[in-house]
């Protein structure tokens, strides 16, 4: 998988946004309306097509971002050149916050998993946001901690779990974070391919496809047209657990 280039054909500037868009988003929830208006007046808002890179690993961190709508995949390149999906970020969260971890470059690439609406600000405003806006710093560093914890858990999964457990855990995590209840199960609420799932679980496309096909035959999941639906979450929970030696 390679991220498409970000250019103006994929990024569309949006009209002036209303303060209500940020009122209920955690980093801004403690702010007064006039403060939110000031933040929005300093932001650039853009609509991105699916599959577009918002920023690239190793590039100078000139801006930080807030995902208003859509989903984003966070992708890293291993020392051997393989691309691995580290995280999926849902709407309402900050991203590209390199400044929060003391970096001057982006540690990963952010690629839209769906059409997305994104706000961004110049990084030079970061210190002012942290100092001036109540709750912004607290929630930002909580977000960093949560993501580091999730990445740590995934590293532990890769080191200690069989591939079947890893794939089951990945599907459970995705339906927990982004699942949409449907008549016969829970659907991951953005397009995800078997290749995406293999990258997310550090396994091969062949293995991820084999597992999904087997689980489809058992009635546990349904996978078609970039959509994965979990029909029997409890069965996946059982599969995700360590196997007893007894």
pLDDT digits 0-9 by tens, 69-85 = 999 988 887 777 777 78
Domain boundary among 127, 158, 189: 158
23/125 same-domain check: yes
The whole-number pLDDT of residue 187 equals 92
The whole-number pLDDT of residue 152 equals 61
No. of helices (H) and no. of strands (E), the chain: 8, 13
Residue from 96, 2, 114, 113 nearest 58 by CA:
96
pLDDT at 158 over 80: no
Average pLDDT over residues 162-188: 88
| 82 within a domain of the structure (yes/no) | yes
132/33 same-domain check: yes
Average pLDDT in the chain: 83
Rounded Cα distance between 34 and 50, Å, is: 33
pLDDT band for position 10 (cuts 50, 70, 90): very low
| 4 within a domain of the structure (yes/no) | no
Domain boundary among 158, 192, 216: 158
146/180 same-domain check: no
- Sign of CA pseudo-dihedral 204, 210, 213, 216: negative
pLDDT digits 0-9 by tens, 26-45 = 888 888 888 888 888 899 98
Domain boundary among 109, 133, 158: 158
pLDDT at 182 over 50: yes
The whole-number pLDDT of residue 1 equals 44
Average pLDDT over residues 45-56: 93
The residue range of the domain holding 86 is: 11-158
Query: How many domains does the chain fold into?
Result: 2
118/227 same-domain check: no
119/221 same-domain check: no
pLDDT at 149 over 80: no
- The pTM of the full predicted model, rounded to 2 decimals, is 0.71
């Amino acid at each position: 998988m390679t991220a498409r280039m970000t250019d103006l054909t994929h990024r569309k500037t949006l009209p002036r946004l209303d303060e209500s868009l940020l009122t209920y988003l955690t980093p801004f929830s403690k702010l007064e309306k006039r403060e939110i208006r000031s933040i929005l007046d300093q932001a650039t808002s853009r609509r991105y097509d699916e599959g577009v890179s918002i920023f690239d690993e190793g590039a100078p961190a000139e801006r930080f971002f807030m995902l208003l709508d859509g989903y984003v995949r966070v992708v890293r390149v291993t020392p051997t050149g393989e691309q691995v999906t580290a995280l999926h970020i849902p709407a309402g969260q900050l991203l590209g916050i390199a400044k929060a971890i003391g970096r001057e470059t982006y540690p990963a690439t952010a690629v839209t998993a769906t059409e997305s609406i994104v706000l961004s600000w110049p990084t030079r405003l970061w210190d002012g946001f942290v100092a001036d806006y109540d709750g912004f710093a607290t929630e930002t560093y909580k977000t960093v901690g949560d993501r580091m914890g999730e990445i740590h858990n995934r590293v532990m999964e890769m080191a200690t779990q069989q591939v079947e457990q890893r794939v089951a855990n990945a599907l459970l995590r995705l339906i927990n974070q982004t699942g949409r209840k449907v008549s016969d199960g829970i659907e991951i609420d953005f397009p995800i391919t078997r290749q995406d799932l293999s990258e997310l679980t550090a396994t091969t496309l062949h293995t991820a496809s084999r597992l999904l096909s087997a689980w489809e035959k058992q009635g546990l999941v349904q996978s078609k047209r970039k959509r994965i639906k979990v029909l029997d979450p409890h069965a996946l929970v059982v599969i995700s657990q360590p196997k007893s030696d007894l």
